Amino acid sequence: MIEVPDDKAGTKVDCPYCGDVNTMPASAGAGTDPAARKHDRAAAAGFPPDSGPETQVMLVRPALVRSRPIRFILVLIIGLTGLVLGLIHLVSAQAVPLWVAVMAALVFVACAGAMAWWWIQSLSAALEVTNKRTVARRGLLSRSTSEVVHDNIRNVQIEQSFWQRVWNVGSIGISSSGQDGIEIQMEHVPQPRRVKEIIDLYRPLD
């Protein structure tokens, strides 16, 4: 019996005893070419591997502040101003008249309501990326979902205005090979290009 290293499997080797040329059989389970094996780009980048059970890679929700920075700051300042005027009236009714305090309270409630609505909008939408698929979820009480398997993704589209590029937010759309239009559309996604890069790790781009 002749023992040879693994890299000699499948090649011709001279017998050290009799000099005959023998072809060494390939070891069981070994591929014909290690370079031909599928390279797991996701695992190489430090993410969950493409193979194996489904695992969540990332969960993204629409940006609350960066999607509307100017409006958010204005509403915050106006709301805080109304709150301060109302508190001043409680301390000294002469410093702030009653009608001013009432108007300030109404302004504060309106601003708080606007910020609460934005927060609910951000909480009710999510884009989940796993090692198998991308799923868009919408709704709190009622729920709707749309998903695309990574192996079927045809195009990942990103749209950003100038200010969205400054604040690093944008919209992302995903379409599959089996559909004509965009199946998943999510607005105000933070770091949309980073999301696309992670999705691309699980797409068959090679």
Q: Would you state the pLDDT for residue 33?
A: 45
CATH, range 51-62+125-201: 2.30.29.30
Report the amino acid identity of residue 35.
Answer: A
Q: How far is CA 43 from CA 106, 152, 206, in A?
A: 54, 20, 15
Q: Supply the pLDDT for residue 170.
A: 95
* Contact of 102 with 86, CB cutoff 8 Å: no
8 Å CB contact between 9 and 24: yes
Most confident by average pLDDT, 36-45, 69-78, 170-179: 69-78
Domain boundaries, the chain: 51-62+125-201, 69-121
Q: For 78-101, what is the mean pLDDT?
A: 90
Cα end-to-end distance, the chain, whole Å: 42
pTM exceeds 0.85 = no
Of the pLDDT bands very low, low, confident and very high (cuts 50, 70, 90), residue 8 is low
**C-alpha of 182 from chain center:** 17
